[in-house]
Structure 1
Amino acid sequence: MPSRFMHPRPSSIVAALYTARDLEVDVAILHGPSGCSFKHARLLEEDGMRVLTTALADNEFVFGGQKPLEEVLRYAEDHFAPKKIAVIGTCVSMIIGEDLQAAIDSAGITTPTIAVDIHAGFTENIAGVLATLEAAAGAGWISADELARQHRLMGKANEVEKLRGAASQEYLEPSRGDLKHVAAQRLIECAKSGAKGVAILNAKKETAYMFADELIALHDACPDADITYIANLDNGGLPKVRADAGRILAEMEKRGIHPELIGALDEYGANGDALGARIREIAPAFALIVGVPHAIPPEYTNGIECFSVTNGPRQVAPLKAIGHRHVLVEIDLHPRTLGVREIVESEFGAVVRSLAR
Structure 2
Amino acid sequence: MSTEVQVIHPRPSSIVAALYTLRDLGVDVIILHGPSGCCFKHARLLEEDGVRVLTTGLDEKGFVFGGQEQLVRLLRRAVELFHPKIIAVAGTCSSMIIGEDLHKAVVEANIGVPVIEAEVHAGYRDNTKGVIITLEAARDAGIIDDQELNRQKKLLEKATEIERLYGAASSEYLPPERGDVKFVVASRLLDLLMEGKRGLNILNAKKETAYMFADINLSLIEVARALGCEEKIRTLANLDSVVGLPKVRRDAGNIAGALMERGMNFEITGGLDEYPVSGERIADMIEGEAYDFAVISGVPHAIPIDALGGMELFSITNGPRQVRPLRDMGHHHVVVEIDLHPKTMGVSTIVESEFGATLREIARRRGVL
Given the two structures, how large is their TM-score scaled by the length of structure 2? 0.95
Asked whether 1:333 is paired with 2:343, we answer no
Partner-residue secondary structure (3-state), 1:270? helix
In structure 2, distance between residues paired with 1:89 and 1:282? 50
Partner-residue secondary structure (3-state), 2:6? coil
Q: Which of 130, 148, 152 is the aligned partner of 1:150?
A: 152
- What CA deviation, in whole Å up to 9, does each residue of 1:222-260 have, x standing for no partner? 213210011000121000000000010000011121110
Structure 1 equivalent of residue 214 of structure 2: 212
Structure 1 equivalent of residue 123 of structure 2: 121
Structure 2 equivalent of residue 308 of structure 1: 315
In structure 1, distance between residues paired with 2:158 and 2:290? 26
Give the Å deviation of 1:2: 4.4
Give the Å deviation of 1:297: 1.4
Structure 2 equivalent of residue 89 of structure 1: 91
In structure 1, distance between residues paired with 2:362 and 2:168? 32
In structure 2, distance between residues paired with 1:11 and 1:307? 29
Correspondence list, 1:248-267, <5 A: 248-267=255-274
Partner-residue secondary structure (3-state), 2:61? helix
Q: Conserved in 2, the CA contact under 8 Å of 1:2 and 1:170?
A: no
Structure 1 equivalent of residue 238 of structure 2: 232
Partner-residue secondary structure (3-state), 1:62? helix
Give the Å deviation of 1:277: 2.1
Structure 2 equivalent of residue 289 of structure 1: 296
In structure 2, distance between residues paired with 1:166 and 1:334? 17
Q: Conserved in 1, the CA contact under 8 Å of 2:203 and 2:217?
A: yes
Structure 1 equivalent of residue 367 of structure 2: none
Partner-residue secondary structure (3-state), 2:263? coil
Q: Conserved in 2, the CA contact under 8 Å of 1:2 and 1:168?
A: no
- What CA deviation, in whole Å up to 9, does each residue of 1:167-217 have, x standing for no partner? 000100110000001100111111221211010000000000000000111
Between Structure 1 and Structure 2, how many residues are aligned? 357
- What CA deviation, in whole Å up to 9, does each residue of 1:90-132 have, x standing for no partner? 0001100000010000012111101110000000000110111
Structure 1 equivalent of residue 353 of structure 2: 346
In structure 1, distance between residues paired with 2:283 and 2:174? 26
Q: Please tell me the residue identity of whatever aligns with 1:264.
A: G
Q: Conserved in 1, the CA contact under 8 Å of 2:5 and 2:171?
A: no
In structure 2, distance between residues paired with 1:203 and 1:222? 22
Gaps of 5+ in 2: 365-369
Q: Please tell me the residue identity of whatever aligns with 1:43.
A: L
Partner-residue secondary structure (3-state), 1:8? coil
Q: Please tell me the residue identity of whatever aligns with 1:306.
A: L
Q: Which of 18, 21, 31 is the aligned partner of 2:20?
A: 18
Q: Conserved in 1, the CA contact under 8 Å of 2:5 and 2:170?
A: no
In terms of mean alpha carbon deviation, does 213-222 or 337-346 score higher?
213-222
In structure 2, distance between residues paired with 1:314 and 1:112? 39
Q: Please tell me the residue identity of whatever aligns with 1:96.
A: I
Q: Conserved in 2, the CA contact under 8 Å of 1:302 and 1:323?
A: no
User: How large is the Cα RMSD of the aligned pairs?
Assistant: 0.9
Q: Please tell me the residue identity of whatever aligns with 1:155.
A: E
In structure 2, distance between residues paired with 1:160 and 1:168? 9
Asked whether 1:196 is paired with 2:188, we answer no
In structure 2, distance between residues paired with 1:147 and 1:261? 23
In structure 2, distance between residues paired with 1:3 and 1:72? 42
Partner-residue secondary structure (3-state), 2:235? strand
Gaps of 5+ in 1: none
In structure 2, distance between residues paired with 1:239 and 1:54? 27
Q: Please tell me the residue identity of whatever aligns with 1:234.
A: D
In structure 1, distance between residues paired with 2:56 and 2:184? 50
Q: Which of 34, 39, 42 is the aligned partner of 1:40?
A: 42
In structure 2, distance between residues paired with 1:220 and 1:244? 22
Q: Please tell me the residue identity of whatever aligns with 1:310.
A: T
Q: Conserved in 2, the CA contact under 8 Å of 1:153 and 1:267?
A: yes
Asked whether 1:187 is paired with 2:189, we answer yes
- What CA deviation, in whole Å up to 9, does each residue of 1:310-355 have, x standing for no partner? 0000000000011100000000000000000000000000000001
Partner-residue secondary structure (3-state), 1:200? strand
Give the Å deviation of 1:303: 1.7
Q: Please tell me the residue identity of whatever aligns with 2:174.
A: L
Q: Which of 129, 132, 141 is the aligned partner of 1:130?
A: 132
Structure 1 equivalent of residue 108 of structure 2: 106
In structure 1, distance between residues paired with 2:209 and 2:9? 22
Asked whether 1:241 is paired with 2:275, we answer no
